[in-house]
Amino acid sequence: MHIPDGILPVQVSAGGYAIAGLATWYSLRQINRKSDPTAEIPKASLLTAAFFVGSSIYIPIPPTSIHLILNGLMGVVLGYFAFPAILIGLFFQALIIGHGGLTTLGVNATMMGIPALLAYHIFQLRHSLGRSLPGTWGTGLFAFLGGALGLGLAALVFFVLVITTIPSGFDAATEQAAITALSIAHIPLMVIEGTFTATLVLFLQRVKPELLEGVGKP
């Protein structure tokens, strides 16, 4: 779901950098409001590495194949650390394994990072809406929704961006069909990532709950 160099118009790529810059500034501002802004850096580093590796794990879903994104998971577990972590992960993916590109780094960071922040806020609803659910159901449900919708929103942004900016030299009908098939293939991946996110969050809640309690607290 990474957008490579040469696909988007220059103004769209520039706009992506502008939005990514603002989102990074806002995220770092929120992080610096914490009593110890550096306390969660090891956790963020670990998940940045997982985000990097996730792109090399391909899942065949005929007629195409897709790979893990994990942006929803990062939002749920990292909170505002998610956006700069995704930005760093995308930079090294473009540089080392050729996923995405440097001109589209801002667009890709915005496409995956903003949904990650929304996933974080969805997960925070467990404190209010999840209270009526028994046991750990509330935590598991909102972790699943955060993981699934983080990916789903990113796939939707990808679909809209690429469909509306198909270069004039391409066969528009063929490209639209391919992009639509690729986007639809991400629906089962939403379930996979949502389930993985919920499983990991429930595990952390059981063995090391402080890793979740720190998320969102100033």
Query: At 153, which CATH number?
Result: 1.10.1760.20
Write down the mean pLDDT value for the chain.
86
The torsion angle over the Cα atoms of residues 18, 24, 25 and 26, rounded to 10 degrees, is: 110
pLDDT at site 166:
66
Cα–Cα dist 112/151, whole Å: 8
Q: What percent of the chain has pLDDT over 70?
A: 88
Give 4's pLDDT tier (boundaries 50, 70, 90). Answer: confident
Please report which helix (H) or strand (E) contains residue 65, including its range.
strand 64-67
Nearest Cα neighbor of 1 from 95, 112, 110, 78 is 112
Q: Does the residue 46 lie in any domain?
A: yes
Q: Does the residue 112 lie in any domain?
A: yes
Q: Does the residue 34 lie in any domain?
A: yes
Q: Does the residue 1 lie in any domain?
A: no
State yes or no: pLDDT of 198 exceeds 70: yes
φ, ψ of residue 22 in degrees (nearest 5): -65, -40
Q: Does the residue 3 lie in any domain?
A: no
Count of the separate structural domains present in the chain: 1
